Amino acid sequence: MKKLVNHPEAVVREMLEGMVLAHPHIVKQVEGTTVLVRTHAPIQGKVGLVSGGGSGHEPSHAGFVGTGMLDGAVAGEVFTSPTPDQVLEAIKAVNGGKGVLLIIKNYSGDLMNFEMAGELAEAEGIPVRKVIVNDDVAVEDSLYTTGRRGIAGTIFVHKIAGALAESGASLEEVERVANKVIQQVRSMGMALTPCTIPAAGTPGFSIGENEMEIGMGIHGEPGIERIAIAPADDVATTLVNHVLEDMKLTSGDRVAVLINGLGGTPLMELYIVNRKVAALLQDQGIQIHDTYVGEYMTSLEMAGCSVTLLKLDDELTELLDAPAQTIAWKKERRNPSGDTRE
C-alpha cells in the first residue's frame, strides 16, 4: 500500500486537524469529536444544516461547510458511517434555535445512525428534519442500500438548501427545497481502478487492466456491467443516456451539470467527458445553465467519474447561483456584462 499517511487508524483525526489548520476562517472542530462546523457556529436565528458520512470522499462533506452551504459535517472512519453520538454533537453544535436539517445519503448505516441522532436531539428539544438523497440511477438496491444510492448529486442539495437557510427561511421551507432538489437530480458513475482503505491495506475489489465498471458506487459497490475500456465519448454517452432515460427531460429544459472525479482522474479527462456531455445535451435541446467540473465526492484514489444533472426552475437557479464560501466550493460566476467573478 502506497499512501501518504502516518498510521492507518489516525487518518481521519489527522485529516480533520489539517483541514482546520489550513482553513480556520471557515471551519472549527468540535472538541473531542470528528465534527467540523462553521467557525462562528451556531448562528442564531438560522436553520442549521448537517451532513456527513464515511471519510474517503473528500472534499465531501467537510469541504462544503461554510457560508451558504452546510453548518456542520460529521466524519466517520473511512467508508464507515459516523456514530449517532457524533452526529448528535454536530446537531447540538449548529443549532441556532430554528432547528436542524439532516442531509443523508441513502446508505443503511448513515440512515440508521443519523435518524437515531435526530431522535436523541428532538428528545433534548431541538427540532430536527431529515432528507434522504438517492440520485444514483445505476442500481436500485445493493448490499449498502434499500433503494437507490446517494452520490454526487448530494452536493447540489447542500448548495441549494444551504442558500435558502442562509436567507433565514424556516426549517419546513429548507426541508421542502432540499426534497425538491432530490426529486430533480440524477447521477451515474463509472470506475477504471479500485481504491484502498488505509486500514485494509489492499484494494477493495479487483478490475482488469483493460476493464471498466459502469454504474459503480462510491464505496466500490458493483455497478450494472463490467466492459472493456472504451473511449471517453462512449463512456459519457452511456452515463448521460441512463440519466436522461430516468429524468425524462425534454427540449427547452434547463439543467446544471456536475462532472465529478472520484479521486484519481486528471482534470484533463474530466473536461474531455464534459465536452461530450455538453454536446449530447445540446443535441437534445437541453439548456445548460452552469457546469461544475472537478472533485466533489471522491472515492479515495479511485480513477473514474460520475455525471450529475439537476433540472432547474427559477427558484433552484437563484439558490444555486447564490454566493457561498467553503473550502471546496469555488465557482466563477458571470454577471450581466459577461465578466467573471468569484
The answer to whether 324 touches 68, Cβ cutoff 8 Å, is yes
Q: What angle do CA 254, 273, 141 make, to 5 degrees?
A: 75
- DSSP structural state of residue 46: S
Residue 176: left (phi > 0), alpha (psi -120 to 50), or beta? alpha
Grid coordinates given for 132: 434522504
The answer to whether 70 touches 64, Cβ cutoff 8 Å, is yes
Entry field: residues in the chain: 342
The answer to whether 292 touches 258, Cβ cutoff 8 Å, is yes
The answer to whether 78 touches 57, Cβ cutoff 8 Å, is no
The neighbour count for residue 200, using CB atoms within 10 Å, is 12
Query: Which distant-in-sequence residues (6+ apart) come within 8 Å of 173 by Cβ?
Result: 164
| Cα 159–chain centre separation | 10
Q: Give the residue among 130, 20, 132 at the shortest CA–CA distance from 65.
A: 20
Query: How far is 33 from 47, CA to CA, in rounded Å?
Result: 22
Q: Give the residue among 149, 307, 139, 303 at the shortest CA–CA distance from 229.
A: 303
Q: In what order do the strands lie in the sheet with 100-105?
A: 27-29, 35-38, 72-78, 48-55, 100-105, 128-133
Question: Which are the catalytic amino acids?
Answer: 57, 219
The amino acid at residue 231 is: P
Grid coordinates given for 251: 427540449
Grid coordinates given for 263: 479521486
Query: How far is 188 from 20, CA to CA, in rounded Å?
Result: 32
